[in-house]
């Protein structure tokens, strides 16, 4: 009966795609206090994550959404997740992220919300690409 709140569903901006070609000077990862993030992005594991993002892109296109919206919807679709903590640098990013759960209003990238499109088939497809499927450990001793 306890829910979880996910933190950083966009992996500190990695899922936004802005780090696909390295670390832009204007990005958070370019700041001294975020050296840990820069190291994560340019590491071997970071390069593997970029490949996974490219593999997820066709799913986002099929659903008519962006990768950030797909990530937020995937988090919310998981059993046990009650809410997702979003962070944004500007109102446009927040509006885009909210497109995962609401229909866009003027100028948005999606025409309908993403969450209802997260069928078990789509979730399994995403889980297979990511290789990090959350699991539920149910306690039946009650």
Dist CA 90 CA 83 (whole Å): 21
Tens digit of each residue's pLDDT (9 = 90 or more) over 57-99? 999 999 999 999 999 999 988 878 888 888 888 888 888 888 8
> Residue 22's domain spans which residues?
4-130
- As for how many domains the chain has, the answer is 1
In-domain check, residue 141: no
Dist CA 101 CA 90 (whole Å): 18
In-domain check, residue 53: yes
Residue 135 clears pLDDT 80, i.e. is over it? no
Question: Looking at the whole model, is its pTM more than 0.85?
Answer: no
In-domain check, residue 136: no
CATH number of the domain encompassing residue 10: 3.20.20.100
């Amino acid at each position: 009966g306890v829910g979880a709140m996910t933190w950083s569903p966009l992996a500190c901006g990695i899922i936004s795609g802005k780090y696909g070609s390295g670390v832009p000077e204007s990005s958070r990862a370019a700041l001294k206090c975020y050296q840990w993030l820069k190291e994560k992005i340019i590491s071997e594991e970071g390069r593997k994550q970029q490949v996974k993002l490219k593999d997820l892109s066709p799913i986002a296109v099929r659903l008519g959404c962006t990768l950030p919206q797909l990530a937020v919807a995937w988090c919310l679709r998981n059993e046990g997740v009650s809410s997702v903590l979003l962070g944004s640098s500007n109102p446009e990013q927040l509006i885009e992220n909210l497109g995962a759960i609401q229909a866009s209003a003027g100028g948005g990238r999606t025409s309908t919300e993403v969450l209802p499109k997260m069928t078990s088939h789509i979730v399994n497809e995403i889980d297979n690409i990511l290789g990090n499927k959350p699991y539920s450990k149910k306690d039946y001793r009650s």
